[in-house]
A = this chain, B = another copy of it.
């Protein structure tokens, strides 16, 4: 957490962020993505709805920033491409399994299918930094990295939707093996 100066509303900016993100994940985890409205998130955060809207123009924008915060920088470990890729897949699988994260992620994707503005936020703010990092680490062209991201996160989210549970380690291992054979 970086240090912060009080905002116009008297609440330090990073404090508002931390409070809003925690309230968002808690609300999504308890009420589902659709049920976690800006109203309910504001109540859970103990702030006025206008305070949320001053910082995030839409629920989609709040969810994307919340996911960026929850994921943090991609964890790339290891000395060769295979190890690096495997560490990234295990990292995202663990993150998607955290309470509220998988549902928030899947929900914002679904909304984005019919919402071009949200798609732009999603691809530029959320996906782009990871794409760049992975591209630098793996030296693959754009379209291969984007397909890699689709395959890994899409598979993990589909499993969450079908079972309500994160993917078990044995299945993550098959996913890693399959991805390494194609991209490794």
Is A123 in the interface zone, CB < 8 Å from B?
yes
Query: Mostly helix, strand, loop or mixed at chain A's interface?
Result: helix
Which of A5-13, A15-23, A29-37, A76-84 is found at the contact surface with chain B?
A29-37
Contacts of A156 in B (CB 8 A): 154
* Most chain B CB neighbours (cut-off 10 Å) among A103, A154, A161, A175: A161
| Interface range, A side | 35 or more
Copies of this chain present in the complex amount to: 2
Is A14 in the interface zone, CB < 8 Å from B?
no
Q: A153-B158, A182-B178 known; A109 and B112 CB under 8 Å?
A: no
Is A119 in the interface zone, CB < 8 Å from B?
yes
Which of A38-46, A48-56, A67-75, A143-151 is found at the contact surface with chain B?
A143-151
B109, A103: Cβ atoms closer than 8 Å? no
Q: A150-B159, A155-B154 known; A110 and B106 CB under 8 Å?
A: yes
B32, A111: Cβ atoms closer than 8 Å? yes
Is A169 in the interface zone, CB < 8 Å from B?
no
